């Protein structure tokens, strides 16, 4: 699990260190950007909004210093359930204790949810960079200028950066600008550490990603993954995970006819886990019901959605 780019970075006093939060409404590309910066898959990504549910720190060490990027859940309106309120709370908590906020939006799309995030960023007392992502989808530069001027009103932000996280356009420039903004300080993390999250957490996320990709409608939002066992033995990693859903009917859908859905998800997740761990993986999945867990504070805590 080592990160090639982080090796041999010097630990001198003139290197920089700090935290940068990636915030924005769901689906703007926060997790894609973090993975692109780290050069590896850390945060899960799907085309569905509200994919990320927790803060995930990605640590990038170079010869200039160390930046801890904090990926966050998309801040959304109409957060009726306890899980949604948790996600918004966790995302907004990242505004504090960082040196810089990167506020991501989509080129050409400014919604009520973006305005809501912009409004809550007013109280932040560190610089806020506006990061306009997905510029590949809006190649007409004149259109982009009008959009930024009229809809986004970019005068409110310290800086504006144009990127396409998916193909990497503008990402080197963004990283350089972030580094320049951070204080001179020693790195806090070892240079080969690329996240603050445990293997168990990352494993649960990779399984959840495959479930979110494979399933539709309300199901991706009604499930969570809990790692029950994680053992290294006989030259492989044995992982047992429970997929929790809210109702019996959802359990049937997740399992599929003759178990085909769960089997396909399991195979794909096992491959993803092997890429992450660089070890052979044996994965067992079960599906269980925890009635209406997304609106139950106690169940949320049990499944790791904990403010602590």
Ligand X SMILES: Nc1nc2c(ncn2[C@@H]2O[C@H](COP(=O)(O)OP(=O)(O)OP(=O)(O)O)[C@@H](O)[C@H]2O)c(=O)[nH]1
Residues at the contact surface with ligand X, assessed by CB under 6 A: 24, 26-32, 45-47, 49-52, 73-74, 133-134, 136-137, 164-166
Longest CA pairwise span in the chain (Å): 62
- Chain-centroid distance of CA 284 in Å reads 25
Q: What does the radius of gyration of the chain's CA atoms come to, in whole angstroms?
A: 20
Q: How far is the CB of 69 from Mg ion (least distance, A)?
A: 12
Complex with Mg ion: residue 31 or 92, whichever CB lies closer:
31
Query: 134 touches which of Mg ion, ligand X, none (CB within 5 to 8 A by kind)?
Result: ligand X
Q: How far is the CB of 26 from ligand X (least distance, A)?
A: 4
Q: How far is the CB of 74 from ligand X (least distance, A)?
A: 3
Q: Which residues bind Mg ion (CB under 5 A)?
A: 30-31, 51-52
HSE-CB for 2 with a 13 A CA cutoff: 8
**What CA–CA distance (Å, rounded) separates 62 from 83?**
36
Instruction: Residue 170: count other Cβ atoms within 10 Å of its Cβ.
Output: 17
Comparing CA positions, the residue from 71, 144, 161 lying closest to residue 110 is: 144
Q: How far is the CB of 238 from ligand X (least distance, A)?
A: 29
Helix ranges restricted to H, 159-296: 171-181, 199-214, 219-222, 248-255, 260-277
Complex with ligand X: residue 164 or 225, whichever CB lies closer:
164
Question: Given the structure tokens 């550490």, which residue do they identify?
Answer: 193
CA-to-CA dists, residue 174 to 6, 160, 243, angstroms: 18, 10, 37
Query: 27 touches which of ligand X, Mg ion, none (CB within 5 to 8 A by kind)?
Result: ligand X
Complex with ligand X: residue 164 or 203, whichever CB lies closer:
164
Complex with ligand X: residue 132 or 179, whichever CB lies closer:
132
Complex with ligand X: residue 27 or 294, whichever CB lies closer:
27
Complex with ligand X: residue 34 or 285, whichever CB lies closer:
34
**What CA–CA distance (Å, rounded) separates 85 from 75?**
9
Complex with ligand X: residue 111 or 185, whichever CB lies closer:
111
Q: How far is the CB of 109 from ligand X (least distance, A)?
A: 11
Query: 28 touches which of Mg ion, ligand X, none (CB within 5 to 8 A by kind)?
Result: ligand X
Query: 127 touches which of Mg ion, ligand X, none (CB within 5 to 8 A by kind)?
Result: none
Q: How far is the CB of 268 from ligand X (least distance, A)?
A: 17
Q: How far is the CB of 172 from ligand X (least distance, A)?
A: 14
Query: 50 touches which of ligand X, Mg ion, none (CB within 5 to 8 A by kind)?
Result: ligand X
Reported as type and span, the H/E element at residue 91 is helix 82-93
């Amino acid at each position: 699990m080592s990160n090639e780019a982080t090796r041999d970075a010097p630990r001198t006093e003139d290197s920089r260190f700090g935290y940068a939060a990636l915030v924005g409404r769901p689906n703007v590309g926060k997790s894609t950007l973090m993975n692109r910066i780290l050069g590896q898959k850390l945060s899960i990504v799907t085309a569905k909004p509200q994919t990320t549910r927790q803060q995930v720190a990605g640590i990038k060490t170079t010869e200039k210093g160390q930046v801890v990027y904090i990926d966050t859940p998309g801040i959304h309106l109409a957060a009726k359930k306890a899980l949604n309120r948790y996600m918004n709370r966790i995302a907004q908590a990242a505004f504090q204790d960082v040196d810089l906020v990167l506020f991501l939006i989509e080129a050409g799309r400014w919604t009520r949810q973006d305005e809501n995030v912009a409004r809550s960023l007013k109280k932040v007392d560190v610089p806020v960079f506006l990061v306009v992502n997905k510029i590949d989808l809006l190649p007409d530069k004149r259109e982009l200028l009008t959009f930024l001027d009229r809809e986004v009103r970019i005068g409110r932000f310290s800086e504006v950066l144009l990127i396409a996280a998916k193909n990497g356009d503008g990402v080197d420039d963004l990283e350089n600008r972030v580094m320049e903004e951070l204080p001179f300080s020693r790195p806090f993390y070892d240079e080969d550490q690329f996240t603050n999250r445990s293997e168990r957490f990352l494993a649960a996320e990779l399984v959840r990603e495959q479930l979110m990709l494979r399933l539709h409608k309300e199901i991706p939002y009604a499930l969570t993954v809990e790692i029950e066992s994680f053992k290294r033995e006989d030259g492989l990693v044995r992982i047992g995970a429970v997929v929790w859903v809210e109702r019996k009917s959802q359990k049937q859908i997740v399992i599929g006819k003759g178990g085909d859905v769960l089997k396909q998800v399991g195979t794909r997740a096992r491959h993803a886990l092997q890429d992450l761990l660089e070890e052979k993986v044996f994965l067992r999945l079960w599906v269980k019901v925890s009635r209406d867990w997304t609106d139950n504070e106690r169940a949320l805590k049990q499944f790791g959605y904990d403010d602590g």
